[in-house]
Amino acid sequence: MKYSVTPRLRSALGLATLALAVAFGASSCKAQFMSSPGDASALSVPQAQLIQPEALAHMLKSSAASRPLMLQVGSRVLFAESHIPGSVYTGPGSQPVGLQALQSRVASVSHKQLIVLYCGCCPWNHCPNVGPAFHQLQAMGFTNVKVLYLANNFGTDWVDKGYPVESSQ
User: Which parts of 1-158 are beta strand (E)?
Assistant: 50-51, 69-72, 88-89, 115-118, 145-148
Q: Which sequence spans correspond to the domains of the chain?
A: 7-33, 38-159
CATH dotted code for 38-159: 3.40.250.10
Nearest to 43 by CA among 29, 33, 55: 33
Beta-carbon count within 10 A of 133 CB: 31
Global confidence as pTM: 0.75
- Please name the amino acid found at residue 134: F
**What percent of the chain has pLDDT above 70?**
75
Q: Does the pLDDT at position 4 exceed 60?
A: no
Output Rg (C-alpha) for the chain, integer angstroms: 21
Q: pLDDT for 111-157, tens place per residue? A: 999 999 999 999 999 999 999 999 999 999 999 999 999 999 999 99
Torsion 102-105-111-113 (CA) sign: negative
Q: Where does the pLDDT of residue 76 fall: very low under 50, low under 70, confident under 90, or very high at 90 and above?
A: very high
